[in-house]
Every structure is written in C-alpha cells, then in structure tokens.
Amino acid sequence: MDDKQKKNMKKSTERKSDMSKEAFRKQMVELYSEGRSIDHICSEYNVPRSTFYRWIRKSRTNHPDISDNDIQVIVTKIAELEEEAMTYKKVLQLLKKAE
C-alpha cells in the first residue's frame, strides 16, 4: 500500500469517526428533546454539561425562532419541575411508611 492509499484510508476512517460522533450528538440532543434531563444525559453518557449545551445551541440553527432566553426559561422550569417531582416522591415514600 503506497502513501497515497494510506492517506485516503485515513481520511475515510476519520470521516466515519466524525459521522458517528455527529450521530451520537444528534441522539443525545434528541433524548433531551424527548424530555430527559440534562443532568441525566450528561451523567449517563459522560458528557460535560458545557459540551451538551453547545450541542443544543448548534442544533437550534434549525430553529432560529427560539431565543437563548426562551431556552433558559425552559431549562429553569424543567429544573423546578424535577425538584418538585422529587419532593412528591419523598412525600409519597413517607406516606407509604406511615401506613
């Protein structure tokens, strides 16, 4: 195998790797869009939060009508609802113990 063939093979491998990385990113953003929490996704797939937020911003290029402020409001609301759900779970556990 000559140098040119090796170089082409390396480029092909890099492209496949880049494609699989992009597919992974899209899948993670899709999980977020389906309602999974950022904390859950980042911890389960070992992705830094800052990186994940960058992926979300990048994916929004398809939805330019959504502002950063809108996203922040939604993220804040989700965090509040997750905290509220956790409180309800704790109350439910206490009620079950009281029975």
| pTM metric for this prediction | 0.46
Are 46 and 52 contacting, i.e. CB atoms less than 8 angstroms apart?
no
**What per-residue confidence (pLDDT) applies to 71?**
81
How many other β-carbons are positioned within 10 Å of the β-carbon of residue 53?
A: 14
Task: Give 64's pLDDT tier (boundaries 50, 70, 90).
Answer: low
Out of 13-22, 58-67, 78-87, which region has the weakest mean confidence (pLDDT)?
13-22
